[in-house]
Structure 1
Amino acid sequence: MQEGDYTFQLMVTDSSMQQSTAVVTVTVQPASNRPPVAVAGPDKELVFPVESTMLDGSRSRDDQGIVLYHWEHVRGPSTVEMENTDRAIATVSGLQVGTHHFQLTVTDRQGLSSTATLTVVVRKENNSPPRAQAGGHHVLVLPNNCITLDGSKSIDDQGVVSYLWVRDGQSPAAGDVIDGSDHSATLQLTNLVEGIYKFRLRVIDRQGASDTDTATVEVRPDPRKSGLVELILQVGVGQLAEQQKDTLVRQLAALLNVLDTDIKVQKIQAHSDLSTVIVFYVQSGPPFKVLKAADVVQNLHRQLAKEKADFLLFKVLRIDTAGCLLKCSGHGHCDPITKRCVCSQLWMENLIQRYIQDGESNCEWSIFYVTALALTLLVLMGGLPWLCIYCCKRRKRTKIRKKTKYTILDNIDDQERMELRPKFGIKHRSTEHNSSLMVSESEFDSDQDTIFSRERMERENPKVSMNGSLRNGASFSCCSKDR
C-alpha cells in the first residue's frame, strides 16, 4: 500500500436474503526509518602462529532489519585471507605478527548503512623448542618381523603439531611402513629382515621450532634358521584350509618316520597365484632340538621318491631349505633365491661333487688350475695318436733293416740280379767282377756279424775255405758291405 487514505465497504446477507453494509477507512502515513547500528565485536589479541579466527557481526541491529553485510581488511599485513565477507560471520586466516584492522558495513531495507571497526593484534610469544623422543633401542628376533616405534612422548610447551619419521640411508631397504604411519606419532613397520635399522623422528611445534631423535631397531636372525624347510605346493593360498594344513603336517611327519618329532609351521604365504609356500621346522625331544634343514630335505626327497605322486594332498613343486646355508668353500656367496653358490672371480663349481656325488653347490675349483689341466689333457690326447703312429713306423723299419737274405749270384741273369739287389740303396760291388757266393741287404751289419756269418758258412759247408775258394779248386769271394 502506498501513502494515502483507503476506504473499504463490507456487505453481509442472511438466510432471508436481508442485507446490511458497513464502511471502514484506512490511512497510510509516511514511514519514520532509523539507520542500522553495526557491531563488529570486541577487539582481539592472538598469539602467533594463528591458523584462523572468526569476525562476528551478528549483533548488528536495525528497526526494519539488515539486508546486507560486508567485511573488509583495511589496514595491517597484507597476507590476510578472508572468507564469507558478505555474511554476518566471516573467517580470517594467514594472520602475521602485527595489528590488523577490519571494517564491517551493514545496510537496511531503505538503503541506510552503518560501519564499525574491529582490531586484531597478533603478537609473538616466547616459545621453547619441542623435545623429540623416538623410543631408543629395540631388539627384534625373527620370525617376528613387525614393530611399532612410539614417538608420542615427545613434548612441547605449545604442543607438537607435526611428526615425520625418516629411515637412515645406511639401513636395509626391506621393511614396509603401514598406513602412512611415518607422518604420525607412532611408526608401524612390517616385513623387516635381518640387520640394523635407524629411524630419525622430527617433531615441529606451532611456531615452527623442531627437534630430532633417533630410534634403532636391531633385527636378529631366527635361531631356528638352520632348521627351516620350505615346501612349495601347487595350490592357491586362499584354497588351503586349516584342516588341510593339519592333514599335510601329519603326512609330512609320517614321511619323516622319526620318533618323538613335532612339525612346527612357521609361515604360510602365497608363492604365486597357483602355489603356496609353507615354511616349517622339525623339532625332536625332549630334550627339544631342531633338526637340520638339509637332513630333513634329504629325507623327504628320499621318502617322496618311494611313495606315490599323490601321497600328499597337493602336488609338491619344490622342497628346499628356507635359507641358503651353503658355505661356498669361502670363494663365493649363496643366492637366497636359487639356493646355489655364486662363485667369485677365478673360481667355479666342483662339477664332480655337484652332479655325481652329494649334489651340493660349491666353489672349490680354481679356473686357473682347471684351465691348465684341460690344456694338459688336450695336449696328451692329441699327441698320443702321433706317438703311436711314430712307434709303429719305427718298429716296422727296424724289422726290415735286420732282415738278411743270401743267394748265389753266379749263374743268374741280369733280370734276377736286379730283383735281388737290396731295397734301400745299398751299394754292392758289381757281380760282373766278383765271384761272391751271397749278398746281404743290410748295410748296417757290423764286421763282427760278417765274420760270424763266414764261420757259420764254413761249418755248414766244409768245402768252403777261409780264403773264399772252394776246396775242389773253384774260387769264390764273400760279398760284404762296403766300408
Structure 2
Amino acid sequence: MQEGDYTFQLTVTDSAKQQSMAVVAVTVQPESNRPPVAVPGPDKELIFSVESTTLDGSRSTDDQGIALSHWEHVSGHGAGQVDGRDGVIAAAQALRAGAHRSRVTVTDPQGLSGTSTFTVAVRKASNSPPRAHAGGHRVRVLPSNDITLDGSRSTDDQGVVSYLWVRDGQSPAAGDVIGGSDRSAALQLTSLMEGVYTFRLQVVDGQGALDTDTATVEVRPDPRKSVLVELILQVGVGRLTEQQQDTLVRRLAALLNVLDSDVKVQKIQAHSDLSTVIVFYVQSGPPFKVLKAADVVRNLRRRLSKEKADFLLFKVLRIDTAGCLLRCSGHSHCDSFTKRCMCSQLWMENLQDGESNCEWSVFYVAALALTVLGLTGGMPWLCLYCRRKRTKIRKKTKYTILDSVDEQERMELRPKRGIKHRSMEHNSSLMVSELEFDSDQDTIFSRERMERGNPKVSVIGSLRNGAPFSYCSKDR
C-alpha cells in the first residue's frame, strides 16, 4: 500500500440469501522510523601498566530497538585489539601508553545505523624503583644444614613482579636449591656444608626497574665435630630398616667395651646409591663423658679386625672421624672428604701409622742441601778471588851497595841470615834500588835514619820536612 486513504466494504450473505454490508477506512501515513543513537560511554584515562578496559555500548538507543552492535579499534599506539567486537559490551586489549580510539556501530531492525567513537588515554605514572631485601646475614650451625632466605620484604610502589636468587661465584658449591625456589620470594637451601655462602637477590617491577641486595649464610662447624665418628656401610639407605639400625647400635656399643657406653646416632644419610653413612658419638658414664672421636675410631678398627666381616650386619667400607682432625704439621689443610692432608709446596704427604701428615719434600731437601753445600764450599774461593783482584801487584826490587863503601861497612850493611829480602830496607839507609821495570821507583831517605847509620857514608841527597825528593837514573 502506498501513502493515502483507503476504503474497504465487507458484504456477508446467509443461506436465505439475505445480505449485510459494512465499510472500513484505512489511512496509510508516511514512514516515521529514526536511526539509532550509539552511546559508547564516557572516555577513560588509565595508568600504565593497565593494558585493558571495558567498552560499554549498552546505553545506545533507537525508537525500534537495537538489533546489532559492532566495535572496532580505530587508532592508537601499539597493537590494540577488541575482544567481543559484535556484542553490546566488549574489551579493549594490549593497550600501550598513549591515546586509543575505538568505534561502535549500532543498527535497528529497519537497517538504520548510528556510530560513535570512544577514547582511552593510557599514561605512564611516575615509577619508583623497587627496594630489594634479601635478609642480611644468617648463621647455621651443623648438623643443621638447611635454611630459607626470605626476600618477601622487598617493596615497590607498583609491586614486585619477579625474583631471582644468584649464588656468588666465590661461594662453596655445596648446597641444593629446593623446588626452583631461586625464582621465588623465598630461597630454600639444603645439604649445606661448612663455609660462607653469598646470594644476590634481584627484584624487578612491572616497568622493568630493578634492584639487588645481598644475603650471606655462614655455616659453622658442628661444635661436636671432634667427637663425631663416621661409619660407611655397603648398603643402600633405603634398605636399612629400623630394626637393623638398633642391632647395629648395640653391636657398636659392645665393640667399644666401655663401661655404660651409649652410642648416640646423629644422622643417617645416603653416601652413594649403594652405601650409607652413619654419624654418631659415644657417651660413657656416669659421670657422663663424650669420648674423643680419634680414640673411638682407633678402638673400633682394632676390634673390627678381630671380628667377622658381617658383625655389623653389612660390610664396613670406612670408619673415620666425621671431621678431619689432622694437624698436617701446620703446613697444609686437611680435606674433609678424604681425611688426608693436602700438603702445600715444598711439603709432601707422609703416611705414618696409617695417619696422613706432611714432611719436607725429598726433592726440595736435596736441592736445599746442594745449595747450602755449594755456598759453603764456594765462599772461600770467592773471597780469595775477590782479594786477588783487589791486591796490587808488588814490584820486585834489587838493591846494590854503593861502591864507595869499604869492606867493613859492606859487612855491616849486609842483611843477617834468615832475614827476608823485604826487611833489608829497614837495616840500611845506603841502598839504591834498581827496578826491574822501565820506570825507577822513588826512594825517600829520612834524616833520622841517616844519622843512625854509618857516619862515614855520604848521603846522596837529604830531605827537609815536607820537601819532595826525586831519584833518577842519571843521579847514580
TM-score when normalising by structure 1: 0.62
Quote the Cα distance in structure 2 between the aligned partners of 1:231 and 1:66: 85
Correspondence for 1:359: 354
- SS of the equivalent of 2:357 reads coil
Return the offset for 1:360.
Answer: 0.9
Letter in 2 for 1:268: I
Structure 1 286/210 Cα, relative in aligned 2: closer, same or farther at 3 Å?
A: farther
Structure 1 125/247 Cα, relative in aligned 2: closer, same or farther at 3 Å?
A: same
Correspondence for 2:97: 97
Structure 1 350/165 Cα, relative in aligned 2: closer, same or farther at 3 Å?
A: closer
Mean CA deviation greater in 148-157 or 230-239:
148-157
- Aligned ranges 1:441-480 → 2 under 5 Å: none
Mean CA deviation greater in 190-199 or 203-212:
203-212
Quote the Cα distance in structure 1 between the aligned partners of 2:358 and 2:44: 80
Mean CA deviation greater in 233-242 or 308-317:
308-317
Correspondence for 1:186: 186
Correspondence for 2:466: none
Structure 1 residue runs without a partner (length 5+): 1-28, 376-483
Is this contact kept in 2: 1:48–1:97, CA < 8 A?
A: yes
Quote the Cα distance in structure 1 between the aligned partners of 2:90 and 2:120: 14
Correspondence for 1:330: 330
Structure 1 363/290 Cα, relative in aligned 2: closer, same or farther at 3 Å?
A: same
Return the offset for 1:146.
Answer: 1.0
Q: Does 1:278 align with 2:275?
A: no
Q: Does 1:53 align with 2:53?
A: yes
Quote the Cα distance in structure 2 between the aligned partners of 1:176 and 1:366: 39
Q: Does 1:199 align with 2:199?
A: yes
- SS of the equivalent of 2:305 reads helix
Return the offset for 1:140.
Answer: 0.8
Return the offset for 1:54.
Answer: 3.1
Is this contact kept in 2: 1:265–1:278, CA < 8 A?
A: yes
Quote the Cα distance in structure 1 between the aligned partners of 2:111 and 2:239: 78
Provide, for residues 295-321 of structure 1, a one-character-per-residue CA deviation record: whole Å limited to 9, x for no partner: 211111111222223322323222222
Structure 1 243/33 Cα, relative in aligned 2: closer, same or farther at 3 Å?
A: farther
Q: Does 1:221 align with 2:216?
A: no
Quote the Cα distance in structure 2 between the aligned partners of 1:288 and 1:321: 21
Q: Does 1:368 align with 2:363?
A: yes
Correspondence for 1:462: none
Correspondence for 2:71: 70
- SS of the equivalent of 1:199 reads strand
Provide, for residues 101-153 of structure 1, a one-character-per-residue CA deviation record: whole Å limited to 9, x for no partner: 11123456765543232111122333444333222221111111111122222
Quote the Cα distance in structure 1 between the aligned partners of 2:46 and 2:107: 30
Quote the Cα distance in structure 1 between the aligned partners of 2:345 and 2:128: 59
Return the offset for 1:83.
Answer: 4.1
Q: What is the CA RMSD across the aligned residues, in angstroms?
A: 3.4
Quote the Cα distance in structure 2 between the aligned partners of 1:332 and 1:200: 32
Letter in 2 for 1:280: F
Mean CA deviation greater in 75-84 or 216-225:
75-84
- SS of the equivalent of 2:252 reads helix
Letter in 1 for 2:53: T
Return the offset for 1:220.
Answer: 0.8
- Aligned ranges 1:46-445 → 2 under 5 Å: 46-57=46-57, 63=64, 66=67, 69-72=70-73, 74-107=74-107, 112-285=112-285, 288-350=288-350, 353=352, 358-368=353-363
Is this contact kept in 2: 1:224–1:290, CA < 8 A?
A: no
Is this contact kept in 2: 1:70–1:106, CA < 8 A?
A: no
Q: Number of matched residues?
A: 341
Structure 1 296/76 Cα, relative in aligned 2: closer, same or farther at 3 Å?
A: same
Quote the Cα distance in structure 1 between the aligned partners of 2:107 and 2:278: 78
Provide, for residues 364-393 of structure 1, a one-character-per-residue CA deviation record: whole Å limited to 9, x for no partner: 242227768xx9xxxxxxxxxxxxxxxxxx
Structure 1 198/306 Cα, relative in aligned 2: closer, same or farther at 3 Å?
A: same
Structure 1 52/286 Cα, relative in aligned 2: closer, same or farther at 3 Å?
A: farther
Provide, for residues 244-280 of structure 1, a one-character-per-residue CA deviation record: whole Å limited to 9, x for no partner: 2222112211111112433222222222333212122
Structure 1 67/290 Cα, relative in aligned 2: closer, same or farther at 3 Å?
A: farther
Quote the Cα distance in structure 2 between the aligned partners of 1:167 and 1:89: 50
Is this contact kept in 2: 1:36–1:66, CA < 8 A?
A: no
Correspondence for 1:402: none
Quote the Cα distance in structure 2 between the aligned partners of 1:148 and 1:131: 20
- SS of the equivalent of 1:253 reads helix
Quote the Cα distance in structure 1 between the aligned partners of 2:277 and 2:326: 21
Structure 1 114/177 Cα, relative in aligned 2: closer, same or farther at 3 Å?
A: farther
Quote the Cα distance in structure 2 between the aligned partners of 1:53 and 1:167: 41
Letter in 1 for 2:253: A
Return the offset for 1:59.
Answer: 5.6
Letter in 1 for 2:358: C
TM-score when normalising by structure 2: 0.63
Return the offset for 1:70.
Answer: 3.4
Letter in 2 for 1:145: N
Correspondence for 1:379: none
Structure 1 342/159 Cα, relative in aligned 2: closer, same or farther at 3 Å?
A: closer
Return the offset for 1:46.
Answer: 1.0
Letter in 2 for 1:271: H
Structure 1 39/345 Cα, relative in aligned 2: closer, same or farther at 3 Å?
A: same
Quote the Cα distance in structure 1 between the aligned partners of 2:112 and 2:286: 99
Quote the Cα distance in structure 2 between the aligned partners of 1:202 and 1:369: 51
Quote the Cα distance in structure 1 between the aligned partners of 2:41 and 2:285: 83
- SS of the equivalent of 2:317 reads strand
Is this contact kept in 2: 1:253–1:261, CA < 8 A?
A: yes
Identity %: 75
Letter in 2 for 1:71: E
